[in-house]
Amino acid sequence: MIILGVDPGLTRCGVGVIEAGAYRRLSFIHVDVVRSAPDVSQDLRLLAIYNGLVEKMDRFVPDVVSIERVFAQSNHNTVLGTAQAAGLAMLAAAQRGIPVALHTPTEAKLAITGDGRAQKIQVERMVTRILNLNTMPTPADAADALALAICHALRPSGALQGGEREQHLTPAQRQWAQAAQKTRRRSSTDRGM
């Protein structure tokens, strides 16, 4: 399965492509950053990001696009540009019939390092190690895009069901699945189910 990860941004939009093979073997294919010039109008910046994402999707023909889920920040201009870039990635994928998965930064950190609060450098080092790279991908947006692709490849497929499934999960995947299970339980309790 070819997974294209997108770390959305208006100035720099990270794109990382990996292949997830049998037995969760991950192979590096490509990493890059799609850029837009901050001195041009917003519509032209969005067009540059969209065109760059379309080129990557058409070139690598991914089976799924894994995008960072945008969350509220104190800097509203940053979150707005990030949300717009994420929307462009979703649109480009939808136009090509490619499924989209959204993952939070915490999910990606947890999948990569086993710690949802890991520092950026820890994630970058683990991405380098997991993909057997000689050097860390730069800039950080590129490493984050690869982390999102890896996160999707390593995600547990559903809640833990029985000991056999649990044996095939890495410690980070097991921790992630257990945290997801707790969150679902809390959600259903909050709704009164």
Task: Look at the alpha carbons of 7, 98, 72, 50 in this order and tell me if their dihedral is positive or negative.
Answer: positive
Among 1.10.600.10, 3.10.129.10, 3.30.420.10, 3.40.630.30, name the CATH number for the domain at 2-155.
Answer: 3.30.420.10
pLDDT value for 23: 83
Residue 124 marked in a binding site: no
**Angstrom distances, CA of residue 11 to CA of 8, 40, 76, 179:** 9, 11, 15, 33
pLDDT tens digits in sequence order for the chain, 193 residues long: 999 999 999 999 999 999 999 888 999 999 999 999 999 999 999 999 999 999 999 999 999 999 999 876 666 667 888 999 999 999 999 999 999 999 999 999 999 999 999 999 999 999 999 999 999 998 999 999 999 999 999 986 533 333 334 444 556 656 666 666 666 565 555 545 4
Q: Is 141 a catalytic residue?
A: yes
d(CA 186, CA 23): 32
CA dist., res. 118 & res. 30, Å (int): 24
Active site residue 68: yes
* 7 known member of a binding site: yes
Please tell me whether 115 is known to bind a ligand.
no
- Domain boundary assignment for the chain: 2-155
Q: Which of 19, 39, 115, 141 is catalytic?
A: 141
Q: At what angle do helices 105-113 and 171-190 cross, to 10 degrees?
A: 150
Res 76: pLDDT: 67
pLDDT tens digits, 56-79: 999 999 999 999 998 766 666 678
Q: Are 77 and 113 in contact (CB under 8 A)?
A: no
User: What pLDDT, on a 0 to 100 scale, did the predictor assign at position 70?
Assistant: 84
Residue from 68, 107, 124, 144 carrying the catalytic annotation:
68
Tokens 């833990």: give the residue: 160
* Among 7, 107, 124, 144, the one annotated catalytic: 7
Kindly list the distances between the CA atom of residue 57 and the CA atoms of 92, 96, 120, in Å, as whole numbers in the listed order: 8, 8, 26
